[in-house]
Amino acid sequence: RSGLPEGGGFLGAEAEIVPEFDEEAAERYVRGLADLELLFAPGTDWAYSDMGYNILGDMIAKVSGLSFEAYAQQHIFTPLGMAQTTFLLAEVPTTTLALPHALDENGEMASTGIQPYTRPLAPSDTLFSSVIDMSRLAIASLNHGELDGVRILSAESWQQMWTVQTETWFGDLLDYLAPEYAYGWYWGDVAGQPVVHHPGTELGYQNIFLLAPEENLAVITMGNALASDEDFFYAMAIGQEVLKALLGAQPTETAATELPVPRFEPSECKYPVLADTDAEVIDFYPYDRIHGPSDTLYTSVVDLSRMAMPHLNRGTLDDLQILPAAAYDEMWTPLSETGWAEWFGPTWTSYGLGWLMGEDGGHMVYNHTGADSGYQSHILVVPDADLAIVAMVNVFDRDEGSFHAYALADEVMKMLLGMESE
């Protein structure tokens, strides 16, 4: 509503990132804007500005007496139990930091060797988090500011924050995903459902935080690669397609056809991806110790992802060999035909030692799926693409006989590898 300084253009229009780490960096940044002129009179036009959010961050520091990073930690991250989230690079464990990637001069995806961090840009650009933590923020957002009995913002303030203030430049572009803007949030449409979201991009990273409030659904996509055209959001494309799958909608074509790396194509599920989300909670817990080896593993997506990663390195993770490399020659050797390919696709053609396997789209794919009353999980590994996908859901429609976790993992694999469903 207040206009924008000259140079405060769309999505990351900072001319140069100069690394700064001290407490006074934000104030120096704001004072350095003093001679800039507004692009337009306040209230007469709209443009997205990283610069505006960075100014707001310093205002929060001045009003609260805390640094912007400390204020966010005390009033948002800690109350919501977001233990893996910070705006400060120094607080991020190097063992969990996903390195940024972009296309090199040969058109190959490679690490940039540069972490795009400087403290004055924290409010607009430098949030470090995990899918688990962002999921907690998503649940709080769907609850209009409340999670586990803790409220970080009044429901009235949340409603005001989500109230549309203006139209954007995008209109029907981006598949109608962002034609309107509220306070920091875009409003749009996915498969006929109103969605509210915020995407982001920086050198070597992309993400989207996508909510469908009426359906109580959230999709979070985080990627550590930047496409050849930084105005193209592959994270947005993935988020839209996953949400369409969750909504049971027919996927539509994406705008990724001209993108060399990475490339994402839509695909169509042959069976339900998700059971009725209004299903009743079962009145028993499917646990007994006898079935421990086959059924009762309790874990998180983060830990299950770490369990999947050694299979991409033939048994090695963080320089620790947990299984001899030669064991994979036995474990991943087909021992018998399953007869399931007709129903579940080519990646369920054969069975080895604990793994379903088969070729799809020129890739050998290895799967392990699990289901019990009220639960499903799936690990999918594509070694030649250095790709592992895990899916966990706490619903199981035995009458439908659908493996929802597998369906979702298979659908994401096809999008990431540019494959089409049959």
The per-residue pLDDT for range 238-274, each reduced to its tens digit, is 899 889 888 887 444 433 333 333 333 332 322 223 3
> Which of the listed residues 213, 246, 279 is the one where a domain comes to its end?
246
Residues 343 and 230 grouped into a single domain: no
Q: How many domains does the chain have?
A: 2
Position 187 in a domain: yes
Within a domain: 123: yes
pLDDT, tens digit, for every residue of 97-136? Answer: 888 888 888 878 888 878 888 999 999 999 999 999 999 9
Query: What six digits make up the tokens of 367?
Result: 């799967």
Task: Mark which of 220, 246, 272 sits at the end of a domain.
Answer: 246
pLDDT range class, residue 289, cuts 50, 70, 90 = low
Query: What's the pLDDT tens digit per position in 190-222?
Result: 999 999 999 988 888 999 999 999 999 999 999
60/176 same-domain check: yes
For residues 250 and 51, the model is more confident at 51
Give 228's pLDDT tier (boundaries 50, 70, 90).
low
41, 185: one domain: yes
pTM over 0.75: no
Domain boundary (246, 270, 303) is at: 246
Q: Do residue 375 and residue 324 come from a single domain? A: yes
- Claim to verify: residue 115 and residue 234 sit in the same structural domain: yes
Task: Specify the CATH number for the domain of residue 64.
Answer: 3.40.710.10
Residue 241 lies in a domain: yes
Predicted pLDDT at 339:
86
Domain-embedded: residue 378: yes
Whether residue 208 is found in the same domain as residue 66: yes
The residue among 152 and 288 whose pLDDT is bigger is 152
293-310 pLDDT tens trace = 656 677 777 888 888 888
On whether residue 74 sits in a domain, the answer given is yes
**Structural domain for 36, as ranges:** 25-246
- Is residue 266 in a domain? no
